[in-house]
Structure 1
Amino acid sequence: MEIGGGFFGTIISALVVGLIVGALGRLIVPGKQDMPIWLTIVIGIIAALLGTAIMASFTGSFWLILIVQVLLAAAGVYLVSMMRGRRRRQTPV
């Protein structure tokens, strides 16, 4: 059994990268985002996967891929915070 390798290593890596990319994306979006940390991690993981998939055919540069991942995470955080804010502003009938 490898330490840090295989399936569990991939899961832990995805969580760590998702946390970092999500946090960086959240820092870019101005204002307060009212969302839990787990949602930020999920957005970061999705952004990391999409950014890697999009940039894989263009470049192998770590920094360019990271920039695209963070920008996708920022867009995701912005969209989710807008949807959550709109839902909370609606008054019940």
Structure 2
Amino acid sequence: MIGFIIAGLIIGALARLIKPGRQNLGIIATLLLGLVGSVIGGVIANLLGTGDIWELNTLGFIVAVIASVLLIGVAEGVAGRGKGNQVRR
């Protein structure tokens, strides 16, 4: 379980480094997006037959980082939707 949390932090941090621009995400949001990305990467690696969902492997790690980058973009879009639609005068 602790390894899963550490992997989530690493994957989330890598995703934030890869994604251009500034992200307004805290450490908890980074951790959660990294954890979700790692589950997605594990599922895809498992479906491709390269390992178990809870096992860290190269393909799963790469897919997890890509999924986390996409999730950060979605999170920014959802968070920005409430802020960006205000009319400025």
- Pairwise same-fold verdict (TM > 0.5): yes
Which of these residues, 34, 59, 65, is aligned with residue 60 of structure 2? 65
Matches within 5 A, 1:1-93: 10=1, 12-58=2-48, 59-60=50-51, 62-91=57-86
Q: 2-side partners of 1:79 and 1:71: how far apart? A: 13
Q: 2-side partners of 1:33 and 1:65: how far apart? A: 24
Shift of 1:86: 2.2
Please tell me the residue identity of whatever aligns with 1:77. I
Give a deviation string over 1:31-78, Cα, whole Å, max 9, x none.
Answer: 011121101100100110111011113123821111100000000011
Shift of 1:91: 2.4
Count of paired positions: 82
Give a deviation string over 1:6-44, Cα, whole Å, max 9, x none.
Answer: xxxx1x112101100111111111101112110110010
Unaligned runs of 5+ in 2: none
- Give me the TM-score of the superposition, normalised by structure 1: 0.78
- Give me the TM-score of the superposition, normalised by structure 2: 0.82
Please tell me the residue identity of whatever aligns with 1:69. A
Unaligned runs of 5+ in 1: 1-9
Compute the RMSD of aligned alpha carbons.
1.7
